A and B are shown apart, each in its own frame.
Chain A
Amino acid sequence: MNNILEVKNLKTIFHTYAGQISALNNISFSIGQGEAVGIVGESGSGKSVTMLSIIKLLSENGRIIEGQITFNGKDIRNAGEKEMQNIRGNDIGMIFQDPMTSLNPLFTIGNQLMEAILKHNRISKAQAKQKAIEMLKLVGIPSPEKRLSQYPHEFSGGMRQRAMIAMALSCEPKLLIADEPTTALDVTIQAQIMELMKELKNKINTSIILITHDLGLVADVCDRIIVMYGGTIVEQGKVDEIFYNPQHPYTMGLLKSIPRLNMGKERLKPIDGQPPDLIGAPYGCPFVARCPKAMQICDIKKPEYKEVGKGHGAACWLLYTKNRGGE
């Protein structure tokens, strides 16, 4: 299979005053060419750290201690800063969470947009400007020529996020990483941005990783879903499989906490408890403290990831017990 990105046994740690944090524990996944994958999990589950590990933009106290990252057939786990600079923005585009703070307030949108284009392409300024206008058009920003010379504060939140998307796509990256692109936007704008992402996915053949804590968002855009919890991947599979045949209690809990239109007067079921503290070496399953189906073994030993179908699997001891109801 043609995978654009393959991550194997990735381990990332952070040094803090409180101790060493194991932010990622043995993360393995792959993204196919032109595939859109959603990474879902609550805050602190390691979604963003996974992406920052891949493009090597971890904060100074973070370090990858194990694992393999293969991008476009090349091992980039040990790539130097120069090599990464050629990949970032060029082969991998990124969109960040808060468009209000993700653009430099002192430079025009055009300047910030053309900067990336000029860095990665040998073209003239005029050509870069043409390209920038084209990109703004592509993401649905009206009168792009005028908008180019405006500053971020003259853009609304939604427009800024569109500009960010234009920036991330300006060099036709092979992979687009969108880190909670709609979290900071209000709901109607959220819908517009997701609509745009869906549209772009069909227009340009780019692989997309969509990081979010909103399962509802990914269902619409993505082909596959990866569910993360406590620095591990607890389940992954096709969207339908995750929604209709979840294997991991955490995934089930997530699905139960989504409000539905046809729900009547039933109350939403939140997942009780707090996410785990990742300081120190983790024992057992990270979800054990909050799991309604926890067993003795869950406390002692970490479950291995187990496939249950083609491309669908989870890391849960339940999969290893024989008498499972359901199926």
Chain B
Amino acid sequence: MGYYILKRFFYSLLSLFIIITASFFMMHAMPGSVYTAEKKLPPAIEENIKAKYGLDKPLHEQYLLTLTNLAKLDFGMSMHNEGRGVNDIIEEHFPVSASLGTLSIVLVLLGGVPLGIVSAMNKGKWQDNVSMVIVTLGVTVPGFVVAALAQYFISVKLKLLPVMGFDTPKHWILPGVALSFFYMAFIARLIRSGMVEVLEQDYIRTARAKGLSKAVVVYKHALKNAVLPVIAFLGPLAAGILTGTFVIERVFSIPGLGRYFISSISNRDYTVIMGVTVFYAAFLLLMVFIVDIIYVIIDPRIKLKN
């Protein structure tokens, strides 16, 4: 187990290195720079500032510098917002994104799992049809459309919830739903097909032949088996929710890290792009690792082999 974790850690570092390298060169391949703004800076001043951030050096030197700084976990200073460290930016904005993301994952699980179970238990009946319509909508309609529609009907027309912002729990509902809708539908589908398949297994008949009640058969014996594919999907789910926040934070004017990330790209704020990319990548690698560990805990047939 210890060896396995060590090996995974090493591989994660390798992945991070590749991600950093690719993002670094792609970022610099983008036309324009931090200082191509509406107002042209006097050449002398621009030279000065570039020297301050090391942008005057050849690209390979900048690359090595970035690598060494990142290795020291020093993400540097923002080039666009003078005086703000990238670490501070992450510290300030990530908690907002993280709470939105956590809320969405909770909604995904609370909505998707029961929906899938109900539909599997009533296969072919109206409950199944209704939930499959919801699921199809969820999978096909993009999150930002859901967001816009929800804003229009629920906030503007019915005035039930605030249109944007993230101040009170009331503000959290619409972005949470908009962000989770797709994944909720996806999980419902996974659970449904898993349940339908599992309920036909021999061990379910064995469980019933033991005289166990339907509830025990479904929630103990069937659900644990049906949930396995869902766990495998949790890694990509975390990734999807994270990238989803980029759009949803924009739509709802939420001061999260995702929105900041997007604007840093259009501003060519190289240090912020680099810092946030590394942060997100590390976060995702950690999630995937956690999912693998959960898998081992739930399914005894899977062993961590060295």
**Is B8 engaged at the interface, CB distance under 8 Å to the other chain?**
no
Query: B153 — which chain A residues lie within 8 A by C-beta?
Result: none
B224–chain A nearest beta-carbon distance, Å = 5
Q: B225 to A104, Cβ gap below 8 A?
A: yes
Instruction: Output the nearest chain B residue to A103 by Cβ-Cβ distance.
Output: B203
Q: Which of A86, A104, A119 has the most CB of B within 10 A?
A: A104
Q: Which of A21-29, A94-102, A244-252, A260-268 contacts B (4 or more CB under 8 A)?
A: A94-102
Size of chain B's interface in residues, with CB distance under 8 A?
A: 22
Complex alpha-carbon distance, A170 and B243, angstroms: 53
Instruction: Output the nearest chain B residue to A105 by Cβ-Cβ distance.
Output: B301
Complex alpha-carbon distance, A315 and B166, angstroms: 80
Query: A105 — which chain B residues lie within 8 A by C-beta?
Result: 203, 225, 299-301
Q: With contacts A98-B202, A104-B203 known, is A88 near B209, CB below 8 A? A: yes
Complex alpha-carbon distance, A55 and B208, angstroms: 10
Q: What would 5 A/B residue contacts be, using CB atoms closer than 8 Å? A: A94-B209, A96-B202, A97-B202, A103-B203, A116-B211
Complex alpha-carbon distance, A94 and B207, angstroms: 10
Query: B208 — which chain A residues lie within 8 A by C-beta?
Result: 57, 88
Complex alpha-carbon distance, A86 and B224, angstroms: 25
A-B pair count, CB < 8 Å, reads: 76
Which residues in window 212-232 of B have CB below 8 A to A?
212-214, 216, 220-221, 224-225
Instruction: Output the nearest chain B residue to A117 by Cβ-Cβ distance.
Output: B210
Q: A104 to B211, Cβ gap below 8 A?
A: no
Q: With contacts A98-B202, A153-B300, A153-B301 known, is A104 near B214, CB below 8 A? A: no
Q: B211 to A106, Cβ gap below 8 A?
A: no
* In the complex, the 8 A-B pairs of residues with the closest C-beta atoms, listed nearest first: A89-B211, A88-B211, A89-B210, A116-B210, A101-B202, A94-B209, A151-B300, A104-B203
Q: Which residues of A contact B (CB under 8 A)?
A: 55, 57, 81, 84-90, 93-94, 96-98, 101-108, 115-116, 119-120, 151, 153, 164, 167-168
**Is B15 engaged at the interface, CB distance under 8 Å to the other chain?**
no
Instruction: Output the nearest chain A residue to B300 by Cβ-Cβ distance.
Output: A151
Q: A102 to B202, Cβ gap below 8 A?
A: yes
Q: A164 to B300, Cβ gap below 8 A?
A: no
**Is B262 engaged at the interface, CB distance under 8 Å to the other chain?**
no
Q: Which residues of B contact A (CB under 8 A)?
A: 201-203, 205-214, 216, 220-221, 224-225, 298-301
Complex alpha-carbon distance, A84 and B300, angstroms: 32
Complex alpha-carbon distance, A101 and B216, angstroms: 19
Indicate which residue in B203, B209, B213 contacts A57 across the interface (CB closer than 8 Å): B209
Instruction: Output the nearest chain A residue to B209 by Cβ-Cβ distance.
Output: A94
Complex alpha-carbon distance, A86 and B213, angstroms: 9
A180–chain B nearest beta-carbon distance, Å = 12
Complex alpha-carbon distance, A119 and B298, angstroms: 24
Q: A88 to B206, Cβ gap below 8 A?
A: no
Query: B224 — which chain A residues lie within 8 A by C-beta?
Result: 106-107
Q: Which of B203, B212, B298 has the most CB of A within 10 A?
A: B203
Complex alpha-carbon distance, A179 and B201, angstroms: 16
Indicate which residue in A93, A101, A120 contacts B201 across the interface (CB closer than 8 Å): A101
Q: B221 to A85, Cβ gap below 8 A?
A: no
A181–chain B nearest beta-carbon distance, Å = 13
Query: B202 — which chain A residues lie within 8 A by C-beta?
Result: 96-98, 101-102
Complex alpha-carbon distance, A109 and B148, angstroms: 52
Instruction: Output the nearest chain A residue to B204 by Cβ-Cβ distance.
Output: A104
14 further contact pairs, Cβ within 8 A, besides A85-B211, A115-B212: A55-B209, A84-B211, A88-B211, A89-B209, A94-B206, A96-B205, A101-B201, A101-B203, A105-B301, A106-B298, A108-B300, A115-B207, A116-B212, A167-B210
Instruction: Output the nearest chain B residue to A177 by Cβ-Cβ distance.
Output: B209
Instruction: Output the nearest chain B residue to A150 by Cβ-Cβ distance.
Output: B300
Complex alpha-carbon distance, A89 and B210, angstroms: 4
B198–chain A nearest beta-carbon distance, Å = 10
Q: A120 to B211, Cβ gap below 8 A?
A: yes
Query: A119 — which chain B residues lie within 8 A by C-beta?
Result: 210-212
A57–chain B nearest beta-carbon distance, Å = 6
Query: A98 — which chain B residues lie within 8 A by C-beta?
Result: 202
Indicate which residue in B203, B213, B220, B301 contacts A85 across the interface (CB closer than 8 Å): B213
Instruction: Output the nearest chain A residue to B225 by Cβ-Cβ distance.
Output: A106
